[in-house]
Amino acid sequence: MRIILKKKKRLYVLENSVPIVIAENAEEEVRNELQRHVDDNEHVACVMLASMSPKLQRQHENMDAHIMIMHIKK
C-alpha cells in the first residue's frame, strides 16, 4: 500500500511539464518545488523507460515524462 501511495504522489509529472524558466529572484520555496518536480520527473521517466521494449526506449530516451506520455497516447 505504501508503494502505491508514493507512486500517486508523482503522477502529477505526467500531467504537467517541468517548468523551463524560473526567475532569478524566485523564493527558495519556489526553487525547491521546481527541483522536486525535476527529480520526480526523472524518476517517473526512468520507470517508464524501464517498462518499455528496447525499440520504444530508444524513441523516448531523451523525453521528459510528460512529453513521453503524450507521445505514447498519440
The predicted-structure confidence for 22-44, as pLDDT tens digits, reads as follows: 777 778 888 888 888 888 888 88
Q: What is the pLDDT of residue 3?
A: 47
Does the residue 22 lie in any domain? no
Is residue 71 within 8 A of residue 60, CB to CB? The reply is: yes
Q: What is the pLDDT of residue 57?
A: 93
Does the residue 66 lie in any domain? yes
Backbone φ, ψ for residue 22 (5° rounding): -135, 140
Burial class (CB in 10 A: 0-12, 13-18, 19+), 41: buried
* Digit-coded pLDDT (tens) for 38-64: 888 888 889 889 999 999 999 999 998
Residue 67 has pLDDT above 60, yes or no: yes
Does the residue 37 lie in any domain? yes
CA distance linking residue 34 with residue 12, whole number of Å: 13
Choice between 44 and 1, residue whose per-residue pLDDT is larger:
44
Is residue 44 within 8 A of residue 9, CB to CB? The reply is: no
Domain range for 67: 2-17+27-73
Give the three cell numbers for residue 12: 502529477
